[in-house]
Amino acid sequence: MENKSYNAFKTAQQQFDNIAGHINLDSGTRELLRVPMREYHVNIPIRMDDGTVKVFSGFRVQHNDALGPGKGGIRFHPLETIDTVRALSMWMTWKCSVVDIPLGGSKGGVVCDPHHLSLHEQERICRGWVRQLARDIGPVRDVPAPDVMTNGQHMLWMLDEYETITGAKYPGMITGKPVGMGGSLGRTEATGFGVVFTLREALKELNLLPENTTASVQGFGNVAQYAIQLYTQLGGNVICVSCWDQAEGKSYSFKKKTGINLDELRGISDRFGGIDREKAEAIGYEILSGESWLEQDVDILIPAALENQITKENVGTIKPSVKIIAEAANGPTSVEADEVIKSRGIFLIPDFLANAGGVTCSYFEQVQNNMNYYWEKDEVIGKLDLKMTSAFMKVSELARKNDLYMRDSAYIISITRVAEACKQRGWV
């Protein structure tokens, strides 16, 4: 979400402008791609449980659909802003493009706080959002998915409303559905595993064996836990993780020099990825400040919590031992910090490549919905590995060939593909 000094949309535009200049993109395409093609602002009247009516604001932003129907999550958050949604929709365009799936970029949100809403009220918001937008979303237009504070249940309510309005079954209208109700096996693991598929390739490129490396991770939620699981299976050793303490309103890091034990930490964490400090200390973890995860003497850093976490203020604390940063979170690095990382020659796997496993698996979900035939988990994960590895290879090959920073290389590939699609369609 937005804080006072950080505007995600400005960052997204700045990143785009830099690359557009670098590849000499013509002015028409530049003008088109630096803003969303369509934005919907809706106000949803909801009958609350106490009988009163409240009106909730919502958005859907469709940045670009030249490569296929828009794809992107819908967030429920009290501080949701149109600029955050715009930025995320633009990043979705680049993400789908870099992994070469036939989808565009969208994002949505409703300004609300599910902590203070009953399940019935949340259901009415989901259905109300769909009633407002049913003409503008759908399996061949724009396909939502879960994001911050929304889950499979919310997606099912939205699907049900859509099918009630249209009078037919369209399971591919939305992804992130529960398994057994049109969801795909492997979706839970997909983003974290995808991060490690790209990390594994980066290690090969740097001639490093996973078993000789250590890592430190920010966050202990869905993405972080599955990234830790696969990296550990490959032989790597995570020595530090961090998480947010809801009660204290601050973050802490948890360190074990010999390596953390994922199952042990899972056993003492809540469903929001918060680890119990007392219990952790009792089983031998050192409790450090929230920023300590960044200051570890490790080979690999994996920010897997939030946007804008590595900034010009703390980038200097990254140890010389760090060779790879795998951006599991969306936008974890500020533009200024990115310059420092680039100049230090650290191998960066940019967010929209590293964490594209989630949307790739959502695409697989749609494919399975269209066939009405569902794959085994191993098949899903195998296909995910192929997609992620192939995307990584293309980005790293271009980077090597032209001596480019990995983020710039990924942007060049993504933007060029989307620009080409716009051109071929005769838009620009």
Question: Which residues would be at the binding site for ligand NAD (CB under 6 A)?
Answer: 191, 218-224, 242-244, 251, 273-274, 290, 304-306, 328-330, 355, 358
- Alpha carbon distances (Å) from 9 to 2, 60, 140, 152, 214: 10, 15, 26, 27, 34
Q: Going along 38-111, which residue ranges are E strands?
A: 38-47, 53-64, 70-76, 104-110
Query: How many C-beta neighbours within 10 Å does residue 370 have?
Result: 11
Please identify the residue of the shown chain whose CB is closest to the bound ligand NAD.
Answer: 221
What is the smallest separation between the CB atom of 392 and ligand NAD, expressed in angstroms? 16
Q: Where are the alpha helices (DSSP H) in 219-271?
A: 222-233, 262-267
Place of tokens 């399975």: 368
Instruction: Name the residue nearer to ligand NAD (CB basis): 225 or 409.
Output: 225
Smaller CB separation from ligand NAD, 270 or 376: 270
Minimum distance, C-beta of residue 239 to ligand NAD, in the bound complex (Å): 16
**For residues 354 and 415, which CB has a smaller minimum distance to ligand NAD in the complex?**
354
Based on CB atoms, which residue is closest to ligand NAD, 272 or 402?
272
- Rounded CA-CA distance 7/1 in Å is 9
Q: Which amino acid is present at 158? A: M
Q: How far apart are the first and last CA of the chain?
A: 33
CA distance 93 to 88: 9
Distance between alpha carbon 8 and the CA centroid of its chain, in Å? 14
In the bound state with ligand NAD, the residue whose beta carbon lies nearer, of 46 and 361, is: 361
Specify which residues 215 forms β-bridges with.
Answer: 238, 300
71 catalytic? Reply is no
Least gap, CB of 11 to ligand NAD (angstroms): 14
Q: Least distance (Å) from ligand NAD to the CB of residue 281? A: 17
Minimum CB separation of residue 71 from ligand NAD in Å reads: 12
- Name the 3-class secondary structure at 264: helix
Q: What is the residue type of 211?
A: E
* Largest distance between two CA atoms of the chain: 64
Count of other CB atoms within 10 angstroms of residue 53: 8
Residue 269: phi and psi, rounded to 5, are -120, 155
* Nearest distance in Å: CB 176, ligand NAD: 9
Q: Cβ distance 89 to 106 under 8 Å?
A: yes
Label each residue of 315-375 as H, E or C. Answer: HHHCCCCCCEEECCCCCCECHHHHHHHHHCCCEEECHHHHCCHHHHHHHHHHHHHHHCCCC
Minimum gap (Å) between residue 122 Cβ and ligand NAD: 17
Q: How far is the CB of 80 from ligand NAD (least distance, A)?
A: 13
Side chain identity at residue 91, one-letter code: W
**Closer to ligand NAD at the Cβ: 57 or 314?**
314
Closest CA to 145 of 325, 309, 362: 362
Alpha helices per DSSP H over 78-236: 82-98, 119-133, 152-166, 187-205, 222-233
Which lies closer to ligand NAD via its Cβ, residue 243 or residue 315?
243
Tokens describing residue 412: 């060049």
Half-sphere exposure of residue 287: CA atoms within 13 angstroms, side-chain side: 15
Residue 222 or 416 having the CB closest to ligand NAD = 222
| List 71, 107, 256, 387, catalytic entry | 107
Q: Enumerate the active-site residues.
A: 107
